């Protein structure tokens, strides 16, 4: 957890490094995505057995953890995704009701199957999905914003939200919206990371990695493939956390 990205090497103080049992890509999924889901739901989710939890982009890097952690808390979990393959993955990690938004309308499914609404939404898409999630909230429901990928490529970085009707919708349901940014919860980071590493090592947590094997040009290898990996993510192709492999230099010296 230090500034810098898309580099072969980085230097960090030992005090902020996390020891892992082995140098496998699964542990990379925990650094931001896993801890975001864990701390966010622990601190803000108010999860209890029987609660209904909606996770958007549920088969993505952080969504996969929100699904599993909510399920472990005894909740009924609904997850949105973009393909039948992702729906199958979500079922395999405990999602009770995957919704492939390319074959089913999310709003229609939520109204029909959850007429009383959902108690918690873990939202990372923004735009139209955000509006659907607001409409799906139950009385006293809460929506937690951890990102808005639909707006990351716009000039302002913001996606359209129907803010004009938002106050009335929240008032009618005594609902709430709250943002979550991991940097504001770093006091919880070390303990959370240690806990997640143990869960991953014991097999109690699936840490799905997408190395790009199914992308058009194959696996993401080397810094030159980073742009392909980013495009792959924006196209919604990934299942789990995207990882770019960096070949080990043959004659490198420290």
Do 137 and 117 meet the contact criterion of CB atoms below 8 Å apart? yes
- The DSSP result for 170-215, as a single string, is HHHHT-EEEE--GGGGGGGHHHHHHHHHHHHHHTSS---EE-STTS
pLDDT above 70 as % of the chain? 93
Res 230 pLDDT > 80: yes
Average pLDDT, the chain: 92
Do 138 and 117 meet the contact criterion of CB atoms below 8 Å apart? yes
Do 103 and 78 meet the contact criterion of CB atoms below 8 Å apart? no
Res 14 pLDDT > 90: no
Tell me which of 112 and 253 has the higher pLDDT.
112
Q: Which long-range contacts (CB under 8 A, 24 or more apart) does 191-197 make?
A: 192/35, 192/38, 192/39, 192/42, 193/18, 193/30, 193/31, 193/34, 193/35, 194/18, 195/38, 196/30, 196/34, 196/35, 196/38, 197/18, 197/20, 197/21, 197/27, 197/30
Q: Which residues on neighbouring strands pair with residue 142, listed in sequence order?
A: 120, 176
**What residue spans define the domains of the chain?**
27-182+195-202, 209-242
pLDDT above 90 as % of the chain? 79
Tell me the mean pLDDT in the region 115-138: 95
Q: What is the CATH number of domain 27-182+195-202?
A: 3.40.50.720
Tell me which of 192 and 148 has the higher pLDDT.
192
Res 155 pLDDT > 70: no
pLDDT in tens, 31-84: 999 999 999 999 999 999 999 999 999 999 999 999 999 999 999 999 999 999
Tell me the mean pLDDT in the region 209-222: 95
Calpha distance 196→102 (Å, rounded): 32
Res 11 pLDDT > 90: no
């Amino acid at each position: 957890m230090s500034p810098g990205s898309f580099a072969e090497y980085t230097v960090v103080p030992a005090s902020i490094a996390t020891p892992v049992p082995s140098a496998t890509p699964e542990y990379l999924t925990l650094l931001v995505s896993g801890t975001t889901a864990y701390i966010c739901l622990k601190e803000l989710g108010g999860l209890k057995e029987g609660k209904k939890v909606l996770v958007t982009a549920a088969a993505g890097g952080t969504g996969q953890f929100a699904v599993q952690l909510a399920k472990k808390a005894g909740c009924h979990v609904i997850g949105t995704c973009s393909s039948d393959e992702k729906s199958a993955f979500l079922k395999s990690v405990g999602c009770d009701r995957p919704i492939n938004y390319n074959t089913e309308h999310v709003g229609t499914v939520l109204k029909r199957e959850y007429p009383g609404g959902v108690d918690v939404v873990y939202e990372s898409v923004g735009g139209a999905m955000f509006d659907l999630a607001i409409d799906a909230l139950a009385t006293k429901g809460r929506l937690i914003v951890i990102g808005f990928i639909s707006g990351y490529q716009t000039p302002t970085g913001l996606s359209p939200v129907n803010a004009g009707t938002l106050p009335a919708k929240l008032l009618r349901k005594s609902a709430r919206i709250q943002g979550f940014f991991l940097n504001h919860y770093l006091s919880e980071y070390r303990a959370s990371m240690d806990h997640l590493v143990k869960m991953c090592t014991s097999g109690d947590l699936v840490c799905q990695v997408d190395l790009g094997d199914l992308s058009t040009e194959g696996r993401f290898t080397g810094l030159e493939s980073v742009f392909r990996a980013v495009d792959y993510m924006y196209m919604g192709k990934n299942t789990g956390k995207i990882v770019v492999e960096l070949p080990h230099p043959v004659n490198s010296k420290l």
